[in-house]
């Protein structure tokens, strides 16, 4: 058991939970589950100016929504990086004692002036052999050894870095606080992490981190840097430009199972000819070695289509239950007019016609509004037919005494339509607009059946009156 892999997810709580972070978390979770390993959650909360407890809670909620269960024996944490500052500093001082780090008192301006002089970029190692012993205004820098660093990465293969392209980076700032790179490595060592699976943007940091692991006396973990997510224009998903917050998709009625399944297919596919597979199969089959190393297109339309498939695969009860919060939050009707039993009757009609749960209220609002607003374009288009008044009037008369079920209602309109040499598609339209206010929605006769006789006739009559 002791050599079971230890994965980790190490988000910084600086904003909404990004879909890219969600994918990274799921990769780590799937791997921990399959290998009988552990998923460690470490919140990297050392940037005080950008952190907030609200974002930390957002991370915990998002992970739980993604099925990353904090009560599972595979889950460990959350740990908070800010609580380990002493360990970070102690590790830095050990590096100094061993000669792997040195103090430097150059200011940024002095570094720049030297760079200009030597024609080289960045810090040139000026203080390497000056024997400074620390004190106000001094930073602690890592002494980057000569040679090269090869990062062995399960997604990228071997990536080679020439050490002379890496400057002696700072470990402790002049106020004594640890830098992110150091804190991240010390925490990983402390938490006995064996596998680091994270976003590709951290690859340039990895040779530095690998040197730190080694200088601190440990073999580097197994690395895997997963490709970035891009938008339709192949640009990296950005907070400002794109919809990246997991919370937003959740609020719009994307189901967690659909989101999980979709995120796992970005740059990877399960065996067989469908990408829609249960989580258990993903856990069995997912391998980092199979992840494509080009950027993956986060396709909102494809996510919606996955979601539609997941909605249709739900039991009716599950669909009704999943719709409940969306309906409760809907402003489409006065809340006291909502009727759960009426919704339950309409639910089978709705379930097959929506791709996200957020579309549900607009499909059923006509059932809960005293007078649904009439869409003006729909009205003009359908009521300009020369038979509009006649079909509304005759239908209202016939349904007043007919049997009340959708087959009988349909038969009435079919008979009328045939007698007038028309098509049902045409004659339904004015009725639908008079009754629901729109040209689109669930099947008409089923909708009318649920709405009930009196209300249907009332709406048909007010449509006739509106015709003038």
How does DSSP assign 161-184, residue by residue? EEGGGS---EEE-TTSPBPHHHHH
Which position's Cβ is nearest ligand GLU?
Answer: 198
Residues at the site binding ligand GLU, with contacts judged by CB under 6 A: 10-12, 44, 184, 198, 202
For residue 98, the minimal CB distance to ligand GLU (Å) is: 24
For residue 423, the minimal CB distance to ligand GLU (Å) is: 59
For residue 251, the minimal CB distance to ligand GLU (Å) is: 23
**Contact by Cβ (8 Å): 455, 434:** no
Residue 193 has phi, psi (to 5 degrees) of -70, 130
**Contact by Cβ (8 Å): 266, 201:** no
Residue 226 has phi, psi (to 5 degrees) of -95, 140
Q: Which is nearer to ligand GLU, 12 or 382 (CB)?
A: 12
β-pairing, 222-226 with 195-199? parallel
Q: Which is nearer to ligand GLU, 226 or 378 (CB)?
A: 226
C-alpha separations of 271 from 32, 46, 263, 278 in Å: 20, 41, 16, 12
**Nearest Cα residue to 61 out of 326, 53, 319:** 53
> Which residue out of 239, 243, 302, 426 is catalytically annotated?
239
C-alpha separations of 462 from 64, 91, 136, 412 in Å: 50, 79, 83, 20
> Is 423 one of the annotated active-site residues of the chain?
no
Q: Which is nearer to ligand GLU, 246 or 429 (CB)?
A: 246
**Contact by Cβ (8 Å): 311, 287:** no
* Distance between CA atoms of residues 276 and 261, nearest Å: 7
Q: Which is nearer to ligand GLU, 222 or 276 (CB)?
A: 222
Length of the chain counted residue by residue? 468
Distant-in-sequence, close-in-space partners of 27: CB < 8 Å, separation ≥ 6? 197, 224, 226, 264, 286, 288
For residue 56, the minimal CB distance to ligand GLU (Å) is: 12
Q: Which is nearer to ligand GLU, 47 or 321 (CB)?
A: 47
DSSP three-state, residue 285:
helix
Q: Which is nearer to ligand GLU, 184 or 417 (CB)?
A: 184
Report residue 282 as tokens.
């993903």
For residue 57, the minimal CB distance to ligand GLU (Å) is: 16
For residue 316, the minimal CB distance to ligand GLU (Å) is: 41
| Catalytically active residues, by annotation | 239
């Amino acid at each position: 058991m002791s050599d079971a892999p230890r994965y980790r997810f190490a988000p910084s709580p600086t904003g909404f939970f990004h879909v890219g972070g969600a994918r990274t978390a799921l990769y780590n979770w799937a791997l921990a589950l399959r290998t009988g390993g552990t998923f460690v959650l470490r919140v990297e909360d050392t940037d005080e100016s950008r952190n907030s407890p609200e974002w930390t809670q957002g991370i915990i909620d998002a992970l739980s929504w993604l099925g990353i269960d904090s009560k599972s024996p595979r889950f460990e944490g959350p740990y908070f990086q800010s609580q380990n500052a002493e360990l970070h500093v102690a590790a830095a001082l050990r590096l100094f004692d061993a000669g792997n780090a040195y103090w430097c008192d150059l200011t940024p301006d002095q570094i720049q002036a030297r760079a200009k002089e030597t024609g080289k970029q960045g810090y040139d190692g000026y203080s390497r052999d000056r024997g400074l012993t620390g004190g106000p205004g001094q930073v602690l820098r890592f002494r980057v050894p000569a040679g090269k660093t090869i990062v062995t990465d399960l997604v990228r293969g071997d990536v080679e870095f020439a050490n002379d392209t890496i400057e002696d980076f700072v470990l402790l700032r002049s106020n004594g606080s640890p830098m992110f790179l150091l804190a991240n490595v010390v925490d990983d060592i402390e938490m006995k992490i064996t596998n680091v699976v994270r976003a590709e943007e951290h690859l340039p940091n990895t040779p530095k981190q690998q040197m730190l692991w080694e200088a601190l006396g440990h073999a580097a973990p197994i690395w895997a840097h997963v490709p970035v997510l891009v938008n339709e224009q192949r640009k990296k998903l950005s907070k400002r430009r794109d919809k990246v917050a997991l919370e937003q998709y959740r609020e719009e009625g994307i189901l967690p199972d659909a989101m999980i399944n979709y995120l796992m297919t970005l740059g990877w596919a399960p065996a067989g000819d469908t990408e829609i597979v249960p989580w258990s199969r993903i856990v069995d089959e997912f391998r980092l070695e199979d992840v494509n190393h080009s950027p993956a297109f986060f396709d909102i339309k494809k996510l919606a289509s996955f979601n539609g498939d997941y909605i249709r695969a739900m039991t009716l009860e599950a669909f009704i239950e999943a719709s409940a919060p969306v309906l409760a939050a809907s402003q489409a009707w006065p809340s006291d007019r909502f009727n759960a039993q009426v919704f339950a009757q309409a639910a089978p009609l709705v379930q097959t016609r929506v791709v996200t749960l957020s579309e549900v209220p607009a499909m059923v609002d006509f059932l809960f509004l005293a007078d649904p607003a009439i869409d003006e374009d729909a009205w003009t288009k359908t009521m300009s037919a020369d038979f509009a008044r006649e079909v509304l009037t005759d239908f209202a008369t016939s349904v007043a005494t007919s049997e009340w079920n959708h087959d009988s209602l349909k038969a009435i309109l079919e008979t009328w339509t045939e007698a007038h040499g028309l098509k049902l598609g045409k004659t339904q339209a004015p009725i639908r607009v008079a009754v629901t206010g729109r040209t689109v929605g669930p099947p008409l006769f089923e909708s009318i059946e649920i709405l009930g006789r009196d209300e249907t006739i009332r709406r048909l009559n007010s449509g006739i009156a509106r015709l003038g």
